[in-house]
Amino acid sequence: KAGVTQTPRYLIKTRGQQVTLSCSPISGHRSVSWYQQTPGQGLQFLFEYFSETQRNKGNFPGRFSGRQFSNSRSEMNVSTLELGDSALYLCASSATGGLVGANVLTFGAGSRLTVL
């Protein structure tokens, strides 16, 4: 069973540009969550999608957005990049969106974004 796949794994952008990151969940999983990991702020929740609907959103500015497609694949977009957006962006999927029982989060390897 394939795991959570994130693309690209590494990318470099400059300030002011925008970026789109992609996440393919485990087959059959309908919930996709995104987390930002930085040395200073640690792991922070960005948002969660379930059946193409955003169900939760963390405390991030509107420059951070996402969407989920009918096949459960998800993308997140960051517009007008700032230096502080440099981070590892982790995607995680779960079967139905809960976090216990069989519905634990399975994480991908992440997309490492560097903003110059």
* Contacts (CB under 8 A) with another protein, residues 45-104: 45, 48, 50, 55-56, 58, 90, 92, 97-101, 104
Token couple for 100: 């216990």
Considering the complex, state which of residue 4 and residue 78 has its C-beta at the smaller distance from another protein.
Answer: 4
Window contacting another protein (CB under 8 A); options: 12-20, 44-52, 62-70, 75-83: 44-52
Is 21 a residue that touches another protein (CB under 8 A)? no
Q: Which two tokens stand for residue 23?
A: 């996440």
Q: Could you say whether residue 43 binds another protein (CB under 8 A)?
A: yes
The gap from C-alpha 93 to its chain's centroid, in whole angstroms, comes to 10
Report whether 81 contacts 1 (CB < 8 A). Answer: no
| Contact residue for another protein among 24, 26, 29, 31 (CB under 8 A) | 31
- Count interface residues toward another protein (CB under 8 A): 26
Instruction: Kindly give the pairing relationship between strand 31-38 and strand 5-7.
Output: unpaired
Alpha-carbon span 71 to 64, nearest angstrom: 22
Q: Which of 6, 111, 16 is nearest to 63 (CA)?
A: 16
Give the residues lining the site for another protein (CB under 8 A). 4, 31, 33, 42-45, 48, 50, 55-56, 58, 90, 92, 97-101, 104-110
